[in-house]
Structure 1
Amino acid sequence: MNKQELLNLIKTKIADKIQSFENLIVETRASSNDTKSSMGDKYETGREMLQQEVNNLQRQLNESLNQQSVIRKISAEPSDKVQVGALIRTDKGLFYVTVSVGEIISGDQKIMTVSAESPLVKAILGKRSGEEFVINNIHQKIIYIW
């Protein structure tokens, strides 16, 4: 499994999210400028709602920028234990300890990205191939670590 290729997929996914949030913020601010009017409180309420939407988008943008910062520090080097940057195959699936961007697909493999703060990673941090663990009453065995 090519971890560098997976890292590049994640980086692209995050960059696309950042671009999308930036575009939405620009569009929402433009909408806010369009509502300027002397019609009274009705338009002020609308502008306030648009400002709240901009604030929400800005928060999501900041989260994506933080993910981008974290992913830049992750190495594609092989791992022999569960740590940040490890790709783990259990008897239940494939997990990549990076940042959480959901499921990515490489070839015919579905890989779930998980952050180091996730309960799963906290439960298996430092474990090696062949070791077992239980999370949410589900017993799993680590088959291989890249």
Structure 2
Amino acid sequence: MDKASLLTLTREKLSEKIENFEKLISETRASSNDTKSSMGDKYETGREMLQQEINNLQVQLNEILKQKDFLKAVLPKPNDKAEKGAIVKTEKGLFFISVSLGEIKIDNEKIICISPESPLAKAMNGKQKGDTFSLNNMSQKIIEIE
């Protein structure tokens, strides 16, 4: 597994999410400007609902921007323990401790990108190859760390 390629793919996925949120915010702002009506209170309520939606989208966009900044600090270097930037292979799957992005595929292999703050990453934090950890009463053994 090439960690540099995995980092590049992860950054691309985050960039796609950023573009989608920026587009949604722009479209929602445009529809907010189009809701002109002589209905009085209904007009104000509709505008307020659209503004709340824009605020919600902005919060989500800011979170993804933070994730992108966080990824800049992840270097494609080998790891010998489960920590930020490590690719951890267990009996249950392959995990990239980086950002919460879910499942991605690279070289026909499924990798689950998890945040260092996730319960799974916290359970395996600091562990090395051959160590076991437990989460939700399920024990897993670390087979390999890159």
Question: If the TM-score is normalised by the length of the shorter chain, which range does it land in?
Answer: over 0.9
Residue 39 of structure 1, CA deviation? 2.7
Residue 103 of structure 1, CA deviation? 0.4
Residue 136 of structure 1, CA deviation? 0.8
TM-score computed with the length of structure 2 as normaliser: 0.97
Secondary structure of the corresponding residue to residue 143 of structure 1:
strand
Counterpart amino acid of 1:96?
A: F
* Structure 1 runs not aligned, ≥5 long: none
Residues 46-85 of structure 1: pairs in structure 2 closer than 5 A: 46-85=46-85
CA distance in 1, matches of 2:57, 2:86: 31
CA distance in 2, matches of 1:92, 1:44: 52
CA RMSD across the alignment: 0.8
Residue 21 of structure 1, CA deviation? 0.5
Number of aligned positions between the proteins: 146
Secondary structure of the corresponding residue to residue 75 of structure 1:
coil
Secondary structure of the corresponding residue to residue 140 of structure 2:
strand
Counterpart amino acid of 2:69?
A: S
* Structure 2 runs not aligned, ≥5 long: none
Secondary structure of the corresponding residue to residue 116 of structure 1:
coil
Taking every aligned residue pair, what percent have the same amino acid on both sides? Answer: 58
TM-score computed with the length of structure 1 as normaliser: 0.97
Residues 1-146 of structure 1: pairs in structure 2 closer than 5 A: 1-146=1-146
Secondary structure of the corresponding residue to residue 120 of structure 2:
helix
